[in-house]
């Protein structure tokens, strides 16, 4: 791939452009908001304006409802030899593409499973897709040349391709992305009018649960609208569990104790199912699930403390699989939780030579 055009200079589009530009691809940027294009170009993502002729690939970084008209317009203008998108919903877009009479031979649907609570080109990163799953959703007539070009895009961005059908893709993202975002928003909404002393007690748990609730409401309205039925189905399943949890909790307040045993068992069952589901979430693709432990270290809130900690970890020959930092407001210390393999945990604790708490994950 030598040339590409990114239509839509938001977080995902600009991140793709940054990644491709870093690999030597000539990237052209387009967006209906001129400032978005100028900002992305200033970041080194590419150059503003139309390409002089057909490029190798056009990446449509627009909301699901805009895929079909954007694709039809780009194909009409012969912008590229192959086309893909990054929308998080596929079934509705595919139907619209067929209804619009687009050339499905030069199109292959895509969806990188990466992003963040911040939006816009200023939040973009060239390494956003490193090691992340990139769903590839072909049409029935996607050509071999289009396949090759889009696979090259995924490889250049450092992502891991996963081929799916439209309906399977939409069910999967409803389960692991769309519904969690809505649930996070519902939980965060409980804090809107909470008392100041209640909010001041917030720790890492509530931050983790509500982090993604900071996403752009208008963008998420587009996403949820395009996958509304599937998200509603999953929410119905969740509502059933919530009703069971509410009933169990009410039973635990029963003063005569006639329901407590049964309701405690029901609540334990829900919590156990939660643990089992959490255990299935991959942390790192090439590591065995269940082989991690967390080494927790208390550090001071001074410049260089994190750097010194990570230097010591490197000296121990330990690779950090993931890291979490909890810093309570107004405190002079922070808690760093490092996820490492079970084999490395004991060696790391000895090397650090400071009080550490090791908790099995």
pLDDT, tens digit, 9 for 90 and up, residues 187-196? 999 999 999 9
- pLDDT higher than 70, residue 36: yes
**Which of 137-141, 187-191, 250-254 is the least confident region?**
250-254
pLDDT digits (tens, 9 = 90+) for 285-296: 444 445 678 888
Rounded Cα distance between 314 and 327, Å, is 23
Predicted confidence band at 72 (pLDDT cuts at 50, 70, 90)? very high
- pLDDT higher than 80, residue 258: no
Rounded Cα distance between 118 and 120, Å, is 7
Instruction: Tell me if 301 sits within 8 A of 333, measured CB to CB.
Output: yes
Domains of the chain plus CATH, in order, are: 3-165 (3.40.50.720), 197-279 (no CATH), 292-360 (3.30.70.260)
- Helix or strand (DSSP H, E) at 122: none
Backbone φ and ψ for 270, nearest 5 degrees, come out as: -65, -45
Sign of CA dihedral 203, 206, 210, 214: negative
Provide mean pLDDT across the span 102-126. Answer: 90
Share of the chain above pLDDT 90, in %: 61
Query: How confident is the prediction for the chain on average, in pLDDT?
Result: 89
Model pTM score: 0.75
Counting every residue written for the chain, the total comes to 361
Provide the terminal-to-terminal Cα distance of the chain, rounded to the nearest Å. 42
- pLDDT higher than 80, residue 340: yes
Strands 107-112, 133-138: pairing is: antiparallel
Sheet containing strand 133-138, strands side by side: 47-48, 26-30, 3-7, 57-60, 83-85, 107-112, 133-138, 160-163
């Amino acid at each position: 791939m030598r040339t590409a055009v990114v239509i839509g200079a938001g977080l995902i589009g600009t991140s793709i452009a940054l990644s491709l530009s870093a690999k030597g691809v000539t990237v052209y940027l387009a967006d209906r908001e001129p400032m978005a294009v100028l900002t992305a170009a200033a970041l080194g993502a590419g150059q503003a304006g139309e390409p002089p002729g057909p490029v190798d690939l056009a990446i449509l970084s627009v909301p699901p409802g805009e895929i079909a008209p954007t694709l039809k317009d780009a194909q009409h203008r012969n912008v590229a030899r192959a086309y893909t998108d990054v929308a998080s919903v596929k079934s509705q877009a595919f139907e619209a593409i067929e209804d619009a009479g687009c050339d499905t031979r030069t199109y292959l649907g895509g969806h990188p499973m990466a992003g963040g609570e911040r939006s816009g080109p200023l939040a973009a990163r060239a390494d956003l897709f490193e090691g992340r799953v990139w769903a590839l959703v072909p049409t029935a007539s996607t050509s071999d040349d289009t396949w090759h070009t889009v696979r090259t895009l995924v490889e250049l961005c450092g992502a891991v391709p996963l081929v799916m059908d439209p309906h399977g893709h939409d069910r999967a993202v409803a389960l692991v992305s769309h519904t969690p975002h809505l649930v996070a928003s519902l939980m965060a909404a409980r804090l809107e009018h909470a008392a100041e002393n209640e909010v001041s007690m917030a720790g890492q748990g509530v931050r983790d649960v509500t982090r993604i609730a900071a996403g752009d409401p208008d963008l998420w309205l587009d996403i949820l609208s395009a996958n509304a039925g599937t998200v509603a189905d999953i929410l119905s399943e969740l509502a059933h569990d919530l009703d069971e949890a509410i009933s169990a909790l009410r039973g635990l307040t029963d003063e005569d104790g006639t329901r407590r045993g049964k309701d405690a068992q029901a609540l334990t069952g829900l919590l156990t199912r939660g643990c089992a589901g959490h255990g299935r979430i991959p942390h790192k693709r090439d590591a065995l699930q269940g082989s991690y432990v967390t080494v927790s270290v208390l550090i001071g809130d001074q410049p260089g403390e994190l750097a010194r900690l990570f230097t010591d970890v490197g000296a121990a020959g330990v690779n950090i699989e993931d890291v979490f930092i909890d810093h309570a407001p107004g405190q002079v210390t922070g808690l760093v939780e490092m996820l490492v393999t079970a084999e490395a945990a004991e060696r790391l604790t000895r090397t650090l030579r400071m009080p550490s708490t090791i908790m099995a994950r």
